[in-house]
Amino acid sequence: MGKQLFWENSILQDSKEYIYAADNLLNHHTLYSWNLNHAYNPDWLSKRPILYPLILAFFKTISFGYNFIFLFLVYLSQNAASLFSFYLCVKILNFLKININWKHASLFAAFSLSQYIYCNTIMSETFLQLCLCALVFIQICKPLNFKWSLISALIIMSGLALKPVFMPFAYAYPIICLLRFLPKFNLKYFLPSLLPIVFIFITISWNQSRTGYKQYSSISTINLLHYNTYTMLMYKYGEHKADSMVDEIHFKGNLQGTYATKQEFLNTSSKSLIKENLGTYIFLHLRGMAFCVLDPGRFDLSQFFGLSHGKNLLYETNKDNALMRVFKSILNPLGIILVILFIFNLFKTIIIAKFLINTKLPIFIRLALFCFPFYIVFLTGPIGASRFLMPVIPLLFTMVLCISNWNVLRKNAEN
């Protein structure tokens, strides 16, 4: 936080979009996540959900135009949210009667650099993290009743208003509740689980009224074409042909007439290409999941500290001699740190695997803690990287600390 406030404030492309969205809410009363003086693009109307821009707009309002105060309030709130997420996870460990090994906890914290980086970057990940940790805390530590069912639904709605990534979970949540409440099903406890779906349809209707297209967020189309499909095309045909094919899809899309027909064309074309190359895509999806878990965070460190990071490894790994390209990327002053972080991530993954297969802890507890890490890793797919894993770091922290206390867990499970 001190680095961002007193040395150099690192701003990512996503950060700029959030700031524009906040400014446009304040000055033009519209959610548009880019400069309104530039060429108008309906994608910017729905790309960034409204909650984080609202948070930034609030801090801008009470900062009275002082950028330092604005940044101080943003980073202070995000660091507080980060600490509270870990506090909730410590409460989970206490609830399970696990004696926390603080040496292990400190070691985990020391090597979780992306936690520190994104707490002090204008990004919505820290608040999304708080939503995830709060949901898991409620499921494990709180009773099944209407009050906590309603609070859980409101947390999911907050997550939806932060990131579109929450949408698939919102659809699955009523089914999870049905299974959770059985055999003592009560309609009053179940009804709140439908609120996030209502929120989704309200948001889609709002976006349709503004763009003409039924879509929760334009980022789903952007990711599908420019990341999932493009990565698959580049792996199979090479960079130049992939560029040409994506450009052709965009050219034909622009001929469709309306924004709605263009978006539909982009979605259909992307899905068609993925289906035609399904085997290749599945391989890249699984590989991306592995990258997400093991990535030491070269992008995070280089962007945050303003270091030269060369080419985008997300694309470089889909070219010939991918391993050599990755190896060359660590031949720099960051190299030793990256190797150490990679080894830490490898050991962390092994420990979590042991956590999952050990039956000394009830399966519900294991699934509750592992659900969101797997969910996030699975959805990142071919574009997996450490920054996408950041929202679940406290949950990984909880699982890692569980593994060294199996004697305590066994007694607890027996009781």
Q: Which segments in the chain show pLDDT lower than 70? A: 308-333, 404-415
In a domain, 322, yes or no: yes
- Select from 195, 215, 235 the last residue of a domain: 215
| Of 313, 310, 320, nearest in space to 235 by CA | 320
The answer to whether residues 32 and 24 touch, using CB atoms and an 8 Å cutoff, is yes
Asked if residue 188 and residue 242 are part of one domain, the reply reads no
pLDDT score for 233: 93
Tell me the residue range of the domain where 209 lies. 142-215
d(CA 230, CA 318): 10
- Select from 215, 240, 274 the last residue of a domain: 215
- DSSP for 126-143, written as a single string: HHHHHHHHHHHHHHHHS-
pLDDT score for 187: 82
In a domain, 299, yes or no: yes
In a domain, 287, yes or no: yes
- The two structure tokens encoding residue 391: 């929202």
pLDDT score for 151: 96
d(CA 352, CA 294): 13
Asked if residue 223 and residue 208 are part of one domain, the reply reads no
pLDDT score for 409: 46
Asked if residue 203 and residue 229 are part of one domain, the reply reads no
In a domain, 48, yes or no: no
- DSSP for 68-106, written as a single string: HHHHHHHHHHHHHHHHHHHHHHHHHHHHTT----HHHHH
Asked if residue 287 and residue 209 are part of one domain, the reply reads no
The answer to whether residues 321 and 25 touch, using CB atoms and an 8 Å cutoff, is no
- DSSP for 166-222, written as a single string: GHHHHHHHHHHHHHHHTTS--HHHHGGGGHHHHHHHHHHHHHHHHHSS--S-THHHH
Dihedrals phi, psi of 266, to nearest 5 degrees: -65, -45
Asked if residue 249 and residue 367 are part of one domain, the reply reads yes
d(CA 77, CA 59): 10
pLDDT score for 322: 62
Number of H helices, E strands in the chain: 25, 0
The answer to whether residues 185 and 345 touch, using CB atoms and an 8 Å cutoff, is no
pLDDT score for 302: 85
pLDDT score for 325: 65
d(CA 42, CA 36): 11
The answer to whether residues 155 and 134 touch, using CB atoms and an 8 Å cutoff, is yes
Asked if residue 329 and residue 191 are part of one domain, the reply reads no
∠ CA 401-406-407, nearest 5°, is 130
> What type of residue sits at position 341?
L
- Select from 215, 244, 259 the last residue of a domain: 215
In a domain, 396, yes or no: yes
In a domain, 8, yes or no: no
d(CA 238, CA 192): 49
Asked if residue 342 and residue 200 are part of one domain, the reply reads no
In a domain, 194, yes or no: yes
Q: Is the peptide bond before 183 cis (omega within 30 degrees of 0)?
A: yes
Asked if residue 227 and residue 209 are part of one domain, the reply reads no
Dihedrals phi, psi of 414, to nearest 5 degrees: -65, -35
Q: What is the pLDDT of residues 309-335, one digit of tens each?
A: 655 555 566 666 666 666 666 666 677
d(CA 121, CA 71): 9
d(CA 347, CA 404): 14
Q: What distance lies between CA 305 and its chain's CA centroid? A: 22
Asked if residue 321 and residue 376 are part of one domain, the reply reads yes
Asked if residue 229 and residue 208 are part of one domain, the reply reads no
Asked if residue 147 and residue 245 are part of one domain, the reply reads no
In a domain, 110, yes or no: no
pLDDT score for 293: 93
245: buried, middle or exposed (CB in 10 Å: 19+, 13-18, 0-12)? middle
d(CA 349, CA 347): 5
Asked if residue 206 and residue 227 are part of one domain, the reply reads no
Look at the chain and report how many structural domains it folds into. 2
pTM: 0.92
- DSSP for 255-317, written as a single string: TSSSHHHHHHHHHHHHHHHHHHTHHHHHHHHHHHHHHHHH---HHHHHHHTT----S-HHHHT
Dihedrals phi, psi of 81, to nearest 5 degrees: -65, -40
